């Protein structure tokens, strides 16, 4: 079965691009009648591990929810933090046991007791790897990716445990920088998703069922997932490229405040057009959708999408997409948004 990004984003309109540092975000705003209010918060899910590599989820609410793609469970108790590469659809009053989870705390023993735990979205490169090997069994499967990531962001090797497959060091060591990173971006009213660009290239398309869900997803997704890529760029000494579509105000014609306003409006219009062109550029990209999960006695389902430039997962209700997480395919990594016309 085929699906296009146009269908994934149906019901959304692009908002005004926000840009700061290495990242740009185009908010996706939902049309009021397209908001799916059935879905409740995912942070209320009870989670636990019954064995290394097996994550149990429980939804005790009367509404469905979605365990987002690449979500990690963090606990302060003596238990091994775990994460899941794929989406898990949780229908009302349901339980699930997933044996393809991965440990993200290499040398910590112990299983997680059932409860509502802090959730994170894996750093960008680890999330990408986790999606790639989502169906593989093996609790240690993400340790190499975590080690690589820790090295990339410069987590010291002085303590041998710090150079191992421990994700918590990243969250502990870079808390302030990540706070500063997320502080630069803001949720706009009725926002349900975003197109994320990193250093001028499309790095992700995210969509959620409703504003409340997006508000909940915002911090772990932007701060901990996309914020990680910003840290890697900084560590590598990559200079932030000029934001896509950022046009300096033409000051040649400015003589007074009125003419300044005219030139300001021109620059703003150009930036809006760039956003539209950017989306237009990949809106017809086709994906092959493979069914992963069906709601028992219902119309919801989870599909895995693979295409020429993007890969990811969606949740849909019949043909209408309510949740999506798409990232560039590794082979077409950081898909440039070239070819737009002015």
Partner 1 sequence: MVNLPVRIEEKFLSMDLRTLGKDIETTMSLFGTDMNRATHYNTKEELAAMSEKEHRNMFSLDRTIYGCIACLPGTTDISKMKVVTNLLGIKWNPGSDFQVSTPVLTMDQERMIIDHLVSTLPPNRMINLFASFEDNRVNNARMRKTVLPFILNSTNFGWWAIKYRKKLKTVLSHCWGKRMSSVIEAILGKEARTNKEDNIIHTSVSKYLVGADTIKYDSVIESLCFIFSVDFNFTNPLFVNFHAAKTDFSKAKGLPKEIIEGIRAAYHPTIDKAETLKVAKSSMTSKEKRLVQNQAQKAGVEVKWNPYSQPLVELLIYGFKMGFTNEIHKAIEEKAYKAAQLLPFNYEKVGIICDDSFSMSGSEDQKLKALAITYATVEMLKHLGNSTSITTVSKRRQSYSNKPAGETNLAKPLISLLKHDLDAIFVVSDGYENAPEGRFGEVLKIARDKAGVDIPVYHFNPVGAAESKVALKRLSNDVPLTPVTNPEKMGLSLFKTMIAADPKQGLIELFNIVLPNIEKTKQLYARQNPNTITR
Pairing mode, strands 191-198 and 23-30:
antiparallel
Beta bridge partners of 2: 288
- Is the CB of 160 or the CB of 255 nearer to partner 1? 255
Using CB under 8 A as the criterion, what x/- string covers residues 253-292 for binding partner 1? -xxxxxxxx-xx------x---------------------
Distance CA 81, CA 298 (A): 32
CB 21 within 8 A of CB 231: no
Total of chain residues touching partner 1, rule CB under 8 A: 34
Q: Which of 34, 96, 133, 187 binds partner 1 (CB under 8 A)?
A: 187
Q: Which of 186, 284, 306, 308 binds partner 1 (CB under 8 A)?
A: 186
Neighbours of 175 (CB within 10 A): 11
Q: How far is the CB of 17 from partner 1 (least distance, A)?
A: 7
> Token pair of 68, please?
């987002």
Tokens 């590598």 belong to 236
Region binding partner 1 by CB under 8 A among candidate stretches 6-14, 117-125, 186-194, 198-206? 186-194
Region binding partner 1 by CB under 8 A among candidate stretches 43-51, 66-74, 138-146, 245-253? 245-253
Scanning the chain, the segments in alpha helix (DSSP H) are: 5-8, 124-132, 143-153, 168-173, 175-183, 211-218, 227-236, 257-282
Tokens 């929810």 belong to 65
Q: How far is the CB of 199 from partner 1 (least distance, A)?
A: 14
Q: Is 246 in the site for partner 1 (CB under 8 A)?
A: yes
Q: How far is the CB of 264 from partner 1 (least distance, A)?
A: 6
Distance CA 249, CA 242 (A): 14
Q: How far is the CB of 229 from partner 1 (least distance, A)?
A: 17
Residue among 338, 289, 294, 314 at smallest CA distance from 10: 314
Neighbours of 113 (CB within 10 A): 13
Region binding partner 1 by CB under 8 A among candidate stretches 75-83, 107-115, 248-256, 302-310? 248-256
Pairing mode, strands 71-74 and 118-121:
antiparallel
Q: How far is the CB of 248 from partner 1 (least distance, A)?
A: 7
Q: Given the rule CB under 8 A, which residues bind partner 1? A: 15-21, 27, 176, 179-180, 183-189, 243, 246, 248-249, 251, 254-261, 263-264, 271
């Amino acid at each position: 079965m085929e699906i296009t990004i146009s269908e994934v984003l149906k019901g959304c309109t692009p908002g005004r691009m926000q840009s700061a540092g290495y990242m740009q975000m185009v908010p996706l705003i939902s049309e009021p009648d397209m908001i799916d209010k059935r879905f409740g918060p995912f942070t209320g899910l009870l989670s636990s591990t019954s064995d290394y590599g097996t994550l149990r989820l429980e939804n005790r609410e009367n509404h469905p929810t979605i365990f987002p793609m690449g979500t990690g469970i963090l606990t302060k108790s003596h238990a091994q933090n775990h994460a899941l590469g794929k989406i898990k659809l949780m229908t009302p009053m349901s339980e699930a046991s997933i044996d393809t989870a991965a440990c993200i705390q290499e040398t910590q023993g112990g299983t997680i007791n059932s409860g509502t735990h802090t959730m994170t979205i894996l750093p960008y490169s680890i999330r990408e790897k986790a999606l790639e090997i989502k169906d593989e069994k093996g609790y240690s499967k993400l340790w190499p990716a975590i080690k690589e990531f820790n090295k990339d962001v410069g987590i010291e090797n002085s303590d041998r445990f710090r150079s191992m497959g421990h994700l918590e060091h990243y969250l502990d060591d870079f808390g302030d920088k990540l706070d500063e990173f997320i502080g630069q971006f803001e949720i706009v009213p009725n926002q349900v998703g975003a197109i994320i660009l990193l250093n001028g290239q499309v790095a992700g398309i995210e969509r959620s069922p409703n504003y409340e869900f997006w508000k909940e997803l915002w911090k772990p997704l932007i701060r901990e997932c996309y914020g990680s890529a910003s840290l890697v760029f900084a560590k590598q000494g990559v200079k932030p490229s000029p934001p896509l579509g950022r046009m300096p105000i033409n000051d040649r014609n400015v003589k007074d405040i009125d003419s300044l306003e005219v030139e300001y409006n021109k620059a703003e219009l150009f930036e809006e057009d760039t956003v539209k062109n950017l989306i237009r550029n990949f809106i017809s990209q086709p994906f092959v959708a493979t069914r992963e999960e069906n709601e028992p006695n219902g119309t919801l389902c989870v599909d895995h999408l693979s295409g020429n430039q993007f890969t990811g997962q969606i949740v849909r209700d019949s043909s209408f997409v309510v949740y999506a997480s798409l990232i560039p395919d590794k082979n077409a990594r950081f898909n440039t948004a070239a070819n737009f016309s002015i």
